[in-house]
Amino acid sequence: MHIGIPKESLPGEARVAITPDIARKLIGKGFKLSLEAGAGLAAGYHDDDYESVGVALVDRAAALSADIVTKVRKPSQDEIAAMKEGALYIGHIETCEDDGTLKAMFERDIRPLAMERIPRISRAQSMDALSSQSNIAGYRAVIEAAARYGRFFPLMMTSAGSAKPARVVILGVGVAGLQAIATARRLGADVYAYDIRPETREQIESLGAKPIDLDIGEEGSGEGGYARELSDEAKARQQELLADELAKAHVIITTALIPCRPAPVLVTEDVVRRMREGSVIVDLAAANGGNCPLTEADKVVQKHGVFLVGFTNYPSMMAGDASAFYAHNIANLLDIMVDKTDEGLVFKDFAEDEITAAALLTPEN
């Protein structure tokens, strides 16, 4: 069974789907691996690292013609056209927008396993790429904020005077938000956090942060551990009640997303005006319109004296570790997808496992 690993084609994407250590394990299990030469360089993995564990270095066409093609980001139309009919694709599909990707794949009988569709159940935790990459985003968001905030994060007491700790507010307490809380606390900040799901309160407190409690008239717990979209009335009340808490913040990190919906506006322009000059907002929802309407995707801008950070691919900024995490996700998924027989590796029936059944996209779903 042949796995092809092409170089990521999206501008600015530095990750690679399979790292050398995971390649060695997959080869040991009976897979044959081919890597497009140079595919791992941006993440710090050299061609020699792959060759030394038995990976064949090939051109782009050969990597895309394998039985299984694995990538980080969704395939382009050109990449789909280069895959062989009947191949299996494993990677993100990013299906919220119908841009013809799935149609092109189905026309060539390519079976897509979407990593973002891995269910959030205990059995699938080791395959959950959304969580592994969000963890990195939450960490990096705090580092970006600390680098741009012109004051100390922790309490500092010196012979020359003292500085109070930064007041950091985290909006959205999913995987990224929890990692942001933990990282900001490790840096010594005074951390507050808010989420519309009441069950997150205990998680916030367990990390040493203070929960922000708001009575907005409804709760936002949705399916699969995600937040659901609030009513217009609840959104308006949420903005109103949050405003005073946010205006006092020195750093705000927003992570609030609703799958396949525009990001909810949590930090209004009026709040930005009220914040102290030199404060920082890191908006992890920038790719979906932003939790602050002043955010500009993939830019750092200063408005009303406040820095707004709108990067949309934090895992790519830490491509080495992000690739390692993602490669483990892929390898763990492959473990439940194949059986080893006397004739070699064979695919199981994907419909019989709740994980692969959820991740497999078909014309019917």
The model's pLDDT over 236-266, given as tens digits with 9 standing for 90+, comes to: 788 788 899 999 999 999 998 877 788 889 9
> Which of 3.20.80.10, 3.10.440.10, 3.30.365.10, 3.40.50.720 is the CATH number of 2-117+318-359?
3.40.50.720
- The pLDDT confidence band at residue 197, using thresholds 50, 70 and 90, is confident
**CA–CA gap between residue 286 and residue 272 (Å, rounded):** 16
Question: Tell me, what's the pLDDT at 196?
Answer: 85
Average pLDDT over residues 200-228: 77
Q: Which residue has the higher pLDDT, 62 or 161?
A: 62
Q: Is the pLDDT of residue 158 over 90?
A: no
- The pLDDT confidence band at residue 224, using thresholds 50, 70 and 90, is low
Tell me which residues are annotated as active site.
120, 125, 128, 131, 226
Q: What is the pLDDT of residues 29-88, one digit of tens each?
A: 999 999 999 999 999 999 999 999 999 999 999 999 999 999 999 999 999 999 999 999
Q: List 338's β-bridge partners, or say none.
A: 347
List every span in the chain annotated with CATH 3.40.50.720: 2-117+318-359, 136-316
Q: Is the pLDDT of residue 268 over 90?
A: yes
- The pLDDT confidence band at residue 225, using thresholds 50, 70 and 90, is low
Average pLDDT over residues 83-98: 91
**CA–CA gap between residue 323 and residue 329 (Å, rounded):** 10
Question: Tell me, what's the pLDDT at 204?
Answer: 96
Q: What is the pLDDT of residues 101-124, one digit of tens each?
A: 999 999 999 999 999 999 999 999
Biggest distance spanned by C-alpha atoms of the chain: 74
At the fourth CATH level, which superfamily is domain 136-316?
NAD(P)-binding Rossmann-like Domain (3.40.50.720)
**CA–CA gap between residue 210 and residue 130 (Å, rounded):** 26
The pLDDT > 90 percentage for the chain reads 80
Q: Which residue has the higher pLDDT, 314 or 162?
A: 314
Which candidate, 309, 304, 303, places its Cα nearest to that of 285?
Answer: 309
